[in-house]
Amino acid sequence: MELAFAAYENVRARLPGPARDAACIALPDLDALADDMDTFLLDAFGVLNIGETAIAGVPERVARLQQAGKRVIVVSNAAGYPHADLMAKYARLGYDFAPEDVITSRKTILHGLAQEPARHWGLMANAALGRGDLESLDVAYLADDPADYDRAEAFLLLGSAVWTPPRQAMLIDALRRNPRPVYVGNPDIVAPREDGFSTEPGRFAHDLADATGVEPKFFGKPFGNIFDLAFARIGAVDKSRTVMVGDSLHTDILGGQAAGLKTALIAGFGFFAGHDVQDPIATSGIRPDYILARP
C-alpha cells in the first residue's frame, strides 16, 4: 500500500487540481448515508468486490438502497473487460444493475474516440477477453512483434494483465523514435485483488510519459470525462446529495471532489485494508466528506 500511495503522489501533477477541505466524518457503512444522499456513485474494486469476490453484505446493502428509491450508479475504471462480461460478473456476484447504470472508463474512452479521426491503434489489452465493444476500431494487439508498435498511428491502453517489461520497453522505444498519441482507458496505477495489488495501465502510462515526454490522455477517474458520462446518464442531479464512494484517495475521492460531489472513502477494504487512513489523508491533503469502515 505504501508503495502504491507513493506512486500516486509522484504523479499528482498529472491529476486534477488540489482537493477541497472536508470533514472526514466517520460512519459505519453506506446505510448511514441513506438519509442524506439521493444518488450513490460506487466504485467497483474495493467497494462492490475484491477481485472476483463480492464484499460480504454489500449486495444486500446496495439492494436496500435501490429499493429505497436511491439512484445507484457504478463508476469504475474497468477498461479491460467488454461491457457484457462485466454485467455478467456483477450478476454473478449478486448485484442487479441496468447496463446503462454501469459507467466504466472503457465506455468513457470509446465515447471520446467517437469524436476522433480514424486511426490504426496499437492496443494494450488481453486478447483472450475478446474484442467486444471494440468492433468499430482498427486495432492490433501489442505483443512481441516490434513491427506492430511501428505501424500504430496511436496507442490505446485498456488492460495490462498480459503486459510485460519487454513490451513496455518496445513501446517506449517506439514512442521515442516516433512520438504518437497515447490514450489511456484506465488511469489506475494499482487495483486491489484477493492476494494483493495488480499493476494497472495508469502505471505504465505514467512511466511512458516520464521516459518519452509524450503526455497521455486519460479517460476515467479522477478525470472529469467519466463523471460527465455519468451525469449524462443520471440527468438532473443535486450534487450536494450525490456521493462518490471509493477506496482510493487519488482516483475516487479526488475525482469526486473535482466533479463537485460529496465523497466517501472506504477505509477497511480495498486500497487501505489493514492500514490507517489518517496519515495518507494528511500527507495527500485529499480529505473526503465521510470515512466508511466498510461499504
Tell me how far apart the alpha carbons of residues 151 and 207 are, in angstroms, rounded to a whole number. 22
pLDDT in the model for residue 25: 98
Q: Is the pLDDT of residue 48 over 90?
A: yes
Q: Is the pLDDT of residue 9 over 80?
A: yes
Largest CA distance in the chain: 57
Amino acid residing at 92: R
* Unique residue bearing C-alpha cell 467497494: 47
DSSP state of 282: H
Provide the strand spans (E) within 135-258. Answer: 138-141, 154-157, 182-184, 190-193, 196-199, 217-218, 242-246
Q: Is the pLDDT of residue 20 over 90?
A: no
Q: What share of the chain is helix, strand, coil (3-state, %, to 5)?
A: 40, 20, 40
Find the range with the poorest average confidence among 24-28, 101-105, 115-119, 191-195.
191-195
Q: For the chain, how big is the Rg over CA atoms in Å?
A: 19
Q: Is the pLDDT of residue 284 over 80?
A: yes
pLDDT tens digits, residue range 198-235?
899 999 999 999 999 999 999 999 999 999 999 999 99
Q: Is the pLDDT of residue 162 over 90?
A: yes
pLDDT in the model for residue 242: 98
pLDDT in the model for residue 246: 98
Strands 102-104 and 290-292: unpaired
pLDDT in the model for residue 19: 77
The predicted model scores a pTM of 0.95
Calculate what percentage of the chain has a pLDDT beyond 90. 92
Q: Is the pLDDT of residue 268 over 80?
A: yes
Calculate what percentage of the chain has a pLDDT beyond 70. 100
- 138 phi/psi in degrees, rounded to 5: -90, 100
Residues 6+ apart with CB under 8 A from 226: 75, 77, 103, 104, 105, 108, 219, 220, 255
Q: Is the pLDDT of residue 193 over 80?
A: no
Q: Is the pLDDT of residue 14 over 80?
A: yes
pLDDT tens digits, residue range 111-159?
999 989 999 999 999 999 999 999 999 999 999 999 999 999 999 999 9
* Unique residue bearing C-alpha cell 475478446: 130
Q: Is the pLDDT of residue 85 over 90?
A: yes
Q: Is the pLDDT of residue 194 over 80?
A: no
> What average pLDDT does the structure give for the chain?
96
**Following DSSP, what letter does each residue of 159-175 receive, concatenated?**
--TT--HHHHHHHHHHH
Tell me how far apart the alpha carbons of residues 18 and 47 are, in angstroms, rounded to a whole number. 24
pLDDT in the model for residue 191: 83
